[in-house]
Chain A
Amino acid sequence: MDMKVAKKLGLKERYTLMTRDLAWDTTYQPMDKVFPQTAYEGIKIHDWDKWEDPFRLTMDAYWKYQAEKERKLYAILDGFNQNNGHLSVTDARYMNVLKLFLGSTPPLELMAARGFSMMGRHMQGAGPRVACQMQAVDEYRHFQTQIHSISNYNKYYNGMDEFAHQQSRMWYLSDGKSFFDDAITAGPFEFMVAIGFAFEYVLTNILFVPFISGAAYNGDMAAMTVGFSAQSDEARHMTLGLECIKFMLEQDPDNLPIVQRWIDKWTWRGTRKLASVGMMMDYMLPKRIMSFKEAWEMYVEENGGALFKDLARYGITIPKCFGQTIEEKEHVTHQSWIGFYMKPQATPFHTWIPTPDEMDWLSEKYPNTFDKYYRPVLEYLDAQEKAGNRFDNKTAPMNCQVCVSTIKFNEPGDPMEMCFRESTYQGEKFHFCSDHCQEIFDNEPEKYIQTFISSHQVLQGNCEPDGTDVNAADFKPGQNMLDYWKLDKRALGDFNGSEDQKNFAAWREQATKN
């Protein structure tokens, strides 16, 4: 008897059968009711089948690859942890990079997971739906593995344990939170431009450089491996973001102005979000990889510039903010570090003044700005600290209504002056850090009048530890911020004299001496 052996399917056929073939048009309910979000943003799609699947990956293959990555990753993490890997990092200041990263990044990976899960539901075409579902799982994986790699450090160093509580409460985490809240409350196409394109494509390398290369340079095998493991997913994410842009632009000429406005908006929002990442590169990594300025030139000006040249054939122009980001690349990291340095009682990580060697490195990397605008201030603050008068600014900052950065950036063209912008909406004033944030507000004021600005919320009495009687006669808002934030007192203050510094020195001595 002849056996009928089914022919092994080719990759393309397999992909079709396992994705698009599994989708159907609904008949009990009209498609526009099943997919209520695809039309309201004004993006016109005529034929979902024209979507090119940039990555022909089926779910079963996906699980197989990812499981393999996880096995390798956790083997390395285990080895690192068992061998007291934390003592092999360059110096204990490095732990503060991890603390800042832990508060700011894994929670946003989780938001990305949520966002892409929503895209996996609301994108009408089967191709993008499958790709978004996979990305949702990737982002969830990034969230978990980042926390796992840092959890080992949490056994030894202060200030890491309450990052989840702090995410929606701490003043300096509001910018990232607002970034994702803005994206996820937009429609599916704007979300794809915001996260899939502007963040994943244009700006993602700036985030990975300090994290992966910074970890590698500073002896943190655990974080480095997590970074590489995540980065291997990024190629897929970038392609998805870019494909989505091209798809929208090819489907209807009316989509162009909408897409352009989103690109302008999200490139700027992403740029603002990355100021603190740049600060890690220039000030926090004990062993530097490259300056933020150099990274910006390589990844954003060159690579991003080439990308926008490529998109010019669709009518897309370079984001409006590009010129300003180029001017600011010589300033923002210094402005941000001074901003954190002045608040030793309000972050779960330590700050410090760079050593003389490190200042020389900054002078060399920032020949136009460091010596002129920033070195004298840092040297002054250093002298004050040594005289027992360390800077501790107690006032609550003013923030931009859109990006929620503290107002600290200079007026374009004049590094001596603070940049202020304001709009009035329904009789109320709103303040911004820049022209670009003001324009974002003016385009959708209804959205940004709801911004959560930590200093304002404190003054309204909304930031109190559980059990506070806000109606008591002697109630004064904001008296118990450390408890509200759950800030570990050992994690506060200057790095010099911190428990982390002492413990690291003592443990390393034990590990390396008889």
Chain B
Amino acid sequence: MSHLKTLAPYEVKSRDAVENYKGKQLLYINWERHRMFSRPFVLALPPETPFSVIVDQYMTDCFSYHPDWKQIDWNTVVWQNGNTPFTPDRNKSLKENGIGHKDLIRFRTPGLDGIAGTGY
């Protein structure tokens, strides 16, 4: 229950409602145990964007600075949308993969725990 107290009726809209993104939606991406980056980063993309673009373009651009990136065995990667495990289909779109506005994609690379096992 909201504790908000106001002097007058108070109706406000979310500043990040999906309508504000002109056909795009926000997506956050986090590489678990690799906290060296702008941590989870955020993108605005049309829901039709194929999942492969996320990996091949955006994730690669950001994460390839990390020495672990080349070591990833993509067959063992564990994916989550928020706290829910899921298996993305590379060739399907964000929408078809069930990824909505402001979803957080987390991926774990077993055996790779960052620089000297620090989680970074």
**In chain B between 1 and 51, which residues have their CB closer than 8 angstroms to a CB of chain A?**
2-7, 10, 12-18, 20-22, 24, 26, 28, 30, 32-33, 35-44
Q: Which of A335, A407, A443, A460 contacts B40 (CB 8 A)?
A: A407
Interface of A is mostly: mixed
Q: Quick one: CB contact mask for A399-440 with B, threshold 8 Å, 1 for yes?
A: 000000011101000011110101001101111000000000
> Considering residues A335, A343, A459, which has the most beta carbons from chain B within 10 angstroms of its beta carbon?
A459
Q: Mark B74-113, 1 if CB is under 8 A from A, else 0.
A: 0000000010000000000000000011111010000001
Min CB–CB distance B39 → chain A (angstroms) = 5
Q: When each residue 355-383 of chain A gets 1 if its CB lies under 8 Å from chain B and 0 otherwise, what string results? A: 00000000000000000111011001000
Q: Are B14 and A398 in contact (CB under 8 A)?
A: no
- Whether the pair B40, A444 counts as a contact (CB closer than 8 A) is no
Least CB distance from B28 to A in Å reads 5
* CB <8 Å contact, B32 and A376: no
Q: With A393-B38, A398-B42, A407-B39 in contact, do A450 and B14 touch (Cβ < 8 Å)? A: yes
Is A451 interfacial (CB-CB < 8 Å)? Answer: yes
Nearest-Cβ distance from residue B20 to partner chain A, whole angstroms:
5
User: Which of A11-19, A34-42, A124-132, A208-216 lies at the interface?
Assistant: A34-42
Closest to A391 in B: B65
Cα distance, A443 to B1, chains bound together (Å):
7
Total residues of chain B contacting the partner, CB 8 A: 51
A453–B38 contact, CB under 8 A?
A: no
Bound together, the chains give a CA A207 to CA B117 distance in angstroms of 33
Q: Which residues of B contact A187 (CB under 8 A)?
A: 5
Instruction: Give bound CA distance, A37 to B5, whole Å.
Output: 11
How close is A308's CB to chain B, nearest CB, in angstroms? 22
Residues from chain B with a CB closer than 8 A to the CB of A406 are 38-39
Interface string of A95-130 (1 = CB under 8 A from B): 000000000000000000000000000000000000
Q: Which of A372, A430, A446 contacts B4 (CB 8 A)?
A: A446
Q: Which 6 A-B pairs have the closest CB atoms?
A: A416-B119, A395-B41, A376-B116, A459-B44, A398-B40, A449-B14
14 additional A-B pairs beyond A396-B38, A420-B106, beta carbons within 8 Å, are A187-B5, A342-B37, A380-B115, A395-B41, A397-B41, A398-B28, A416-B114, A416-B119, A422-B82, A429-B101, A444-B3, A445-B2, A445-B4, A453-B15
Q: List 13 A-B contacts (CB under 8 A).
A: A40-B5, A335-B35, A373-B119, A373-B120, A376-B120, A394-B61, A406-B38, A410-B119, A416-B118, A422-B82, A428-B18, A444-B2, A459-B44
